[in-house]
Amino acid sequence: QAIIVGDTNQLPPSNFFKSAAGIEEEDSDIAIVEESILELANAAFHPKHRLLWHYRSRHESLIAFSNFYIYENDLVIFPSPNGKRDKMGVDLIRANGVYQSSINPVEAALVADAVVLFMENDSDRSLGIVTMNIKQKDMIHSMVMRHAETNRHVSDYIEKWDIEDSGLQRFFVKNIENVQGDERDVIFISTVYGKDPLGRFRQGFGPINGLAGMRRLNVLFTRAKEKITTFTSIPLDQLNPGEDNQGAVLLKRWLEYSGTGVVGERLKDSARSKFGPDSPFEEHVIERIESLGYEAIPQVGVSNYFIDIGVKHPSYDLGYICGVECDGASYHSSKSARDRDVLRQEVLEGLGWDIYRIWSTDWFKNSILQTEMLKKYLDQKLELKLGARIAEQPIKDAPVEVFSEAKGSSDVIPESRSVVVGSKVVLEYQSGPRAGMKSKFVLVNPKTAGGTTPGYDPLPITSPLGQEVIGSEEGDTVSFEVLEAFVDVSILEVLT
């Protein structure tokens, strides 16, 4: 029999919201319920065993940091077949915003713009945003919702993921206290903190300064399956937390890791293993692979699990063609056939690996035949990889002409002040969350638009608002739909 409880390195219960009574204390330590079920179970039951296999991350750099600093390199991490790619792993974006009154507007706007770009170009992957406090969360959420009013891609993305998987992967913006239990393909982090308007940087990080700050950050840094992008305004040269402040120390290490790729002394995207072949048999196979024009890298992996040989080719720079497993030392040291064969194979294939297995008995009986079979397999995989890469290249659409209903051509401007492509429009929201607010837009065709108009935000004709505005006149009121709600907008002025 076994009793399975949660991870004591993640977040235990807290009285964060109860004690705050709805008011967020930015720099207070957060009291933690010391005797949670996790602590009680760990004290009462022996022996204790940690579940070591890590499944969530589809790129090893996503868990390498927590494995090194939190789990003492105990986790079994399966390597990714993909090299350093924009869509996988960990990166850092400097916002250099100003932190005042618990918000960082510049950083929030940068995150919101990145969200729009992601939703326009990467709609097949789920997304979540995590901030260090509630006020920044609310600001980013409001910015994204305003984009949803004028950008069909944003509203469609939100609606799609509200429905997909019964809403389990819906888009969210949350503060760090509320993100435990969530996972998404991609996570954006807004660290919020930075210099104040006078250029001073204060060493205060709200819940990160608390007794469980390190646990909160460990939760945050393990939410993504494919990529984490951290947006920060924190000046690293001025971030000097005391060693007893484990949360702030871990935050500094994370920012350094995200920016440099180094955890301990190892790069997060190390292209070549530091380990040699496990056996003379593997050495022999490596020699044959390289004689076929491929690159053979022994012992590909990060922590406690390594693929015997990773195979690359100069013409394919997105990662490994396949992995080759030999029944050498690592095979015979496994405790069970299911452990060494079925489970590991399933995990690796789930990460995108193609695995080719070579049995030593077959190899030594007829290495020439085995080499020919290996060559055929490698050539086929290379052809498939290169073909898939070509298929992924974007196809440019032909320019689309837009005609006004009045005269038949967008080049003809009607005598009345009607809205056409290129019109500068002043609007006032009559309902919805922006009721009473005014906005200035220039109506654009996204297929042919170029440049910007100072003082006016671009309004695509393909957006919900753009579709309703075109052809209308000064004094008209139009309605457009955003997230199943209708918003009324009055047209105050039209300049052509």
The CATH number of whichever domain residue 257 belongs to comes to 3.40.50.300
Q: What is the pLDDT of residues 229-264, one digit of tens each?
A: 999 999 998 998 888 888 999 999 999 999 887 776
Q: Are 162 and 169 in contact (CB under 8 A)?
A: no
Same domain, yes or no, for 89 and 223?
yes
In this structure, what DSSP letter does residue 123 have?
Answer: T
Same domain, yes or no, for 115 and 37?
yes
Determine how β-strand 424-429 pairs with β-strand 438-444: antiparallel
The CATH number of whichever domain residue 318 belongs to comes to 3.40.960.10
404 within domain boundaries: no
Q: Are 419 and 469 in contact (CB under 8 A)?
A: yes
Same domain, yes or no, for 225 and 361?
no
Same domain, yes or no, for 205 and 169?
yes
235 within domain boundaries: yes
* Final residue of a structural domain among 267, 292, 324: 267
401 within domain boundaries: no
Determine the Cα–Cα distance for residues 190 and 148; give it in Å rounded to an integer.
Answer: 20
pLDDT of 1 strictly over 80: no
Determine the Cα–Cα distance for residues 309 and 463; give it in Å rounded to an integer.
Answer: 50
- Predicted confidence band at 403 (pLDDT cuts at 50, 70, 90)? very low
* Of the ranges 333-337, 435-439, 450-454, 488-492, the best mean pLDDT one: 488-492
290 within domain boundaries: yes
Q: Phi then psi for 491, rounded to 5 degrees? A: -95, 110
**DSSP for 321-346, written as a single string:** SEEEEESSHHHHTSS-HIIIIIIHHH
Average pLDDT of every residue of the chain: 79
Rg of the chain taking only CA atoms, in angstroms: 27
The tokens of 100 are what? 């005042």
- Predicted confidence band at 400 (pLDDT cuts at 50, 70, 90)? very low
Same domain, yes or no, for 473 and 337?
no
Q: Are 406 and 418 in contact (CB under 8 A)?
A: yes
Structural domain boundaries, residue 299: 280-391
- What is the domain count for the chain? 3
The burial class, CB within 10 Å (0-12 / 13-18 / 19+), for 455 is: exposed
Within a 13 Å sphere around the CA of 278, how many CA atoms are in the beta-carbon half?
17
127 within domain boundaries: yes
Q: What is the pLDDT of residues 99-129, one digit of tens each?
A: 999 999 999 999 999 999 999 999 999 999 9
Same domain, yes or no, for 350 and 479?
no
Determine the Cα–Cα distance for residues 400 and 446; give it in Å rounded to an integer.
Answer: 9
Determine the Cα–Cα distance for residues 176 and 373; give it in Å rounded to an integer.
Answer: 52
Same domain, yes or no, for 76 and 206?
yes
236 within domain boundaries: yes
The tokens of 418 are what? 């009607």
Same domain, yes or no, for 128 and 227?
yes
Same domain, yes or no, for 194 and 221?
yes
Same domain, yes or no, for 435 and 470?
yes
Same domain, yes or no, for 196 and 336?
no
Same domain, yes or no, for 43 and 116?
yes
